Amino acid sequence: MNSPSSAALGRCPIDHQALQRQLAPNGCPVSANAAAFNPFEPAYMQSPGDYLRWAREQEPVFWSPQLGYWVVTRYEDVKAVFRDNILFSPAIALEKITPAPPQVMEILQSYGFAMNRTMVNEDEPDHMERRRLLMDAFLPERLSTFEPMVRSLARQYMDRFVDKGRADLVREMFYEIPLNIALKFLGVPDEGAEQLRQFAVAHTLNTWGRPSPQEQLEIAHNVGRFWQTAQQILDDMRARPDGEGWMYETIRQHLAHPDVVPESYMRSMMMAILAAAHETTSNATANAFLTLLTQRKAWEDICANPALIPNAVEECLRVAGSIIAWRRIATDDAVVGGVRIPKGGKLLVVMASANFDPRHFENPDEVDVYREGAVEHLTFGYGAHQCMGKNIGRMQMRVFLEEFVRRLPHIRLVAGQQIDYLSNTSFRGPSELWVEWDPALNPGRSGSPTAASAEPFYIGPPAKDSIARTVVVRGKHEEGEGLCRIELADPRGGPLPAWSAGAHVDLIAGGFRRKYSLCGPADDRSLLQVVVQREGDGRGGSRHFCDTLEVGQALQLSGPKNLFKLDESARRFVLIAAGIGITPVMAMADRLKRIGKAYEIHYAGRSRRQMALLDRLEREHGGHLTLYVKAEGRRMDLPTVLAHVDGATRVYACGPDRLIDELENLSERWPEGVLHFEHFSADGSALDPAREHAFVAHLKDSDVDVLVPPDKTLLQALQSAGFDVPCDCNEGLCGTCEVAVVEGEVDHRDKVLTKSERAANQRMLACCSRAAGQKIILAL
């Protein structure tokens, strides 16, 4: 008879004492959650973002005794690790994560297996020199020839099943097309391609999986065969080195620069890229369809407006990327997210967790095809090693979605199917994906299923202008003199996206696009509320929104996006607003009240008639509110308001320049991170080429020089050179386009950085600021 379990006796089944006895290599006790972390159990693959939620919240960098790795889960930490590829070397990216028994090594050796440095696991300076020599084929203009090829294949494959009413999309389309395209891109003949799937699975399990010692033996044979096949392909290609494709370019660069592109690189790369160039895209495509068909509203939105597809691709890469974690090794003692990592420590950086970090993404658990900044996901990695093939992957995913929303918008997932993933740390995609539909309802029966899109196809990240949802004006209310509160709702009565205090949206109507902070109760998903101040002498946007827009009318909205986030960990909050600056402050006050923090609101205005949201402020925050109404002879005295600010206080302010300037002067001796502010508007950020000088931006991580001519912003020059620097306001207001400065004086023209941040000379806003001299060095 079994003895009664400890759980049955009412005791916790986890041996906490045993866990406490486990120590991480930095001497800290290992927590129960960290000890239990096992990326080879199904829950990790089913939803890696959810699986690591506890870590993002409680222990963002932890030691995993089961893996022997430090696991990094928050967005900023993952990005910081990717950013520093000297301190965090990629050398272990392709190392076997499960140590192999000696027989496995013997089997591999019997095939001559000699996997070594490729691109993704090469250190500097060799890596960058090689990357630059081999980058050309990946540039958007070179890739444009592939789009018609992908589209034509997509149509041919769909023709085969479009009338059947049921298909496993992985087997019938998503595996083979990316494979075909990858072979074409590489210049590899497609005979023998059918073996590659089996090989790629073996390679994934061998490198990132945890097979049993017995399974390892079989896998090793397949990996060995894969290696030999790759070598045979390479040798055949080398026999006629004038062929077309990236591997031919590699062979030619090897002949011209054998020291930069050595033989061992070519041999290893041939095998690695045969898997990486298509598995990643096949999986990402299947993940995207699974995501969008599960979130039917998102699918319907892209069917109704296919211009959203490029952004939907990025959103799917964010929530369901095909590479969910990657590896680095610390080359020296390091600190990540406040945790000390000893030299030689191995890191598993989990992009799939970072992509769900609420500190970076507003409302991260929701799939939102309208999400601004979806492109900031880390699924392609970041920095010097960022995926070279990202635009090939994006482009194919986009074409597939475009073809499906046109020809089979009514497909649905076959109910009850089990979605299986290969057990490993890094590569994620369903092995099958069954969909069904009624062929009698195929739109092609009444229209033309193969009509070409008239829009030019743009290769690269999504264009910001296409990412907007339609909302309707549900209500308009005069809030005082020249102030109009606008309530916006979903046209179909559906929920609007969630948002957090400090977030803003862009309203787009009548040829105007303007940013407004959200101020309504954040828990009301049926309405978004903004207050617009009518500016008689402005450029007409505010007048349009206040006067022309009517209740019931539709307009476009992008966002919400939050660049003025509340650090809720502080003890006490001082909220300062002047004029219309009350709107984000109102949302912050609501939030602080809800979470029970100590806060005070200081609100200044010319007269009560010109101050917004007064009724609600007094009703809901009366005990915390001090008003400074100029017409009543009361002015805000900032030194008094800020008399008790200490390191545990956070000051959030929104108002005109003079208020922010005064605050900055007063805050000079405050600890870093106490003051946060948002300006109303930028002035003078427009570029006047006659008054500018050209300069060179040297991108240190990429070892590239970018010339910034007088008539271009740094941001424009970086984007033209293929760097996905995100931007939002384009006028120095929001902080989205920040880049890290390594050296060189900056001519700061933004409204985001504080005086001390400018003095530190470590950051600049690429959309408006420039180099003061002839050259600037950036960490990009």
Q: Does 285 bind ligand FES (CB under 6 A)?
A: no
Q: Which helix H or strand E contains 316, and what residues bound it?
A: helix 309-319
Q: Single out the residue of 380, 599, 628, 677 in contact with ligand HEM (rule: CB under 6 A).
A: 380
Cα 252 to Cα 187: distance, rounded to the nearest angstrom:
13
Min. distance of Cβ 71 from ligand HEM in angstroms?
Answer: 16
Beta carbon of residue 593, minimum distance to ligand FES (angstroms, whole number): 30
The SS3 call for residue 759 is: helix
Tokens describing residue 89: 């070397």
Where does this chain touch ligand FES (CB under 6 A) — which range of 29-37, 340-348, 617-625, 730-738? Answer: 730-738
Kind of pairing between the strands at 483-489 and 412-413: unpaired
**CB of residue 68 vs ligand HEM: minimum separation in angstroms?**
20
- Helix H, strand E, coil C: the string for 193-214 is CCHHHHHHHHHHHHHHCCCCHH
The DSSP result for 258-315, as a single string, is TTTS-HHHHHHHHHHHHHHHHHHHHHHHHHHHHHHHHSHHHHHHHHH-GGGHHHHHHH
Instruction: Give residue 406's region: left, alpha or beta (phi > 0; psi -120 to 50).
Output: alpha
Alpha carbons 68 and 504: distance in angstroms, whole number: 42
The one of ligand HEM, ligand FES, none whose footprint includes residue 322, by CB under 5 to 8 A per kind, is: ligand HEM
Q: State yes or no: residue 736 binds ligand FES (CB under 6 A).
A: yes
Rg, the chain, Cα only:
28
Residues 155-184 that bind ligand HEM (CB under 6 A): 182
- Distance separating alpha carbons of residues 130 and 128, to the nearest angstrom: 5
CA distances (Å), origin 356, targets 298, 313, 350, 512, 523: 18, 16, 10, 32, 20
**Of 258-266, 320-328, 554-562, 649-657, which part binds ligand HEM (CB under 6 A)?**
320-328
Is the link from the previous residue into 560 a cis peptide, with omega within 30 of 0? yes
Q: Tell the smallest beta-carbon distance from residue 188 to ligand HEM (Å).
A: 11
732: partner contacted, choices ligand HEM, ligand FES, none (Cβ within 5-8 A by kind): ligand FES
Site for ligand HEM, residues 727 to 746, rule: CB under 6 A: none
From the list 90, 502, 655, 732, which residue makes contact with ligand FES (rule: CB under 6 A)? 732
Nearest-angstrom CA–CA distance, 274 and 248: 14
Please count the residues of this chain forming the interface with ligand HEM, following the rule CB under 6 A: 28
Residues 6+ apart with CB under 8 A from 657: 679, 751
Return the number of the residue (292 or 765) whose C-beta is nearest ligand FES.
765
Among 325, 348, 549, 737, binds ligand FES (CB under 6 A): 737
Q: Residues near 649 by Cβ (< 8 Å), separated by ≥ 6? A: 570, 571, 572, 573, 574, 674
Which of 529/702 has CB closer to ligand HEM? 702
From residue 277 to residue 296, what is the string marking binding to ligand HEM with x (rule CB under 6 A)? x--xx--x------------
Cβ-proximal residue to ligand HEM, closest one: 389
Q: Which of 229, 305, 730, 761 binds ligand FES (CB under 6 A)?
A: 730
In the bound state with ligand FES, the residue whose beta carbon lies nearer, of 501 and 752, is 752
Among 386, 423, 556, 761, binds ligand HEM (CB under 6 A): 386
Residues β-bridged to residue 335: 340
The β-bridge partners of 507 are 514, 557
d(CA 225, CA 553): 64
Residue 329 belongs to what H/E stretch?
strand 326-330
Binding span for ligand FES by CB under 6 A among 179-187, 261-269, 665-673, 733-741: 733-741
State which residue, 393 or 579, has the beta carbon closest to ligand HEM.
Answer: 393
In the structure encoding, which two tokens stand for residue 519, read together? Answer: 């101020």
Segment near ligand FES (CB under 6 A), from 37-45, 243-251, 621-629, 722-730? 722-730
Q: Tokens 């996997």 label which residue?
A: 115
Angstrom CA distances, 670 to 675, 679, 735, 762, stand at 8, 20, 21, 19
Binding at 750: pick from ligand FES, ligand HEM, none (beta carbon under 5-8 Å per type):
ligand FES
- Which CB, 315 or 728, lies closer to ligand FES? 728
Q: Tell me: does residue 699 bind ligand HEM (CB under 6 A).
A: no
In the list 30, 587, 641, 729, the residue contacting ligand FES (rule: CB under 6 A) is: 729
Comparing CA positions, the residue from 91, 71, 88 lying closest to residue 350 is 71
How far, in Å, CA of 697 to CA of 714, rounded? 8
* β-bridge pairing 88-89 and 326-330: antiparallel
Please, which residue, 181 or 519, has the CB nearer to ligand HEM?
Answer: 181
Nearer to ligand FES, 398 or 679 (CB): 679
Q: Is 735 in the site for ligand FES (CB under 6 A)?
A: yes
According to the binding rule CB under 6 A, does residue 187 interact with ligand FES? Answer: no
Which of ligand FES, ligand HEM, none binds 469 (CB below 5-8 Å, type-dependent)? none
Measure Cα distances from 184 to 15, 146, 157, 189, 352 in Å: 55, 9, 17, 8, 30
Which CB atom, from 379 or from 667, has the smaller least distance to ligand HEM?
Answer: 379
Q: Which stretch binds ligand HEM (CB under 6 A): 319-327, 491-499, 601-609, 674-682?
A: 319-327
Of residues 111 through 140, those in contact with ligand HEM by CB under 6 A are 119-120, 131
Does position 375 interact with ligand HEM (CB under 6 A)? The reply is no
Rule CB under 6 A: is residue 322 a binding residue for ligand HEM?
yes
CA distances from 150 to 21, 476, 654 (A): 56, 48, 49
Nearest distance from C-beta of residue 317 to ligand HEM, angstroms: 6
* Of 131 and 203, CB closest to ligand HEM: 131
Residues with Cβ < 8 Å from 645, sequence gap 6 or more?
A: 574, 651, 667, 670, 674
Cis omega (within 30 of 0) on the bond before 358? no
- Residues numbered 57 to 86 that lie near ligand HEM (CB under 6 A) are 82
Q: Which of residues 742-761 bind ligand FES (CB under 6 A)?
A: 750, 752
How far is the CA of 519 from the CAs of 522, 583, 743, in angstroms?
Answer: 8, 5, 40
Q: Nearer to ligand FES by C-beta: 45 or 733?
A: 733
Among 323, 467, 509, 555, binds ligand HEM (CB under 6 A): 323
386 binds, among ligand FES, ligand HEM, none (CB under 5 to 8 A by kind): ligand HEM
> Which residues of the shown chain bind ligand HEM in the complex (CB under 6 A)?
82, 90, 119-120, 131, 182, 185, 276-277, 280-281, 284, 321-323, 326, 379-383, 385-389, 392-393
> Which residues of the shown chain bind ligand FES in the complex (CB under 6 A)?
727-730, 732-737, 750, 752, 765, 767
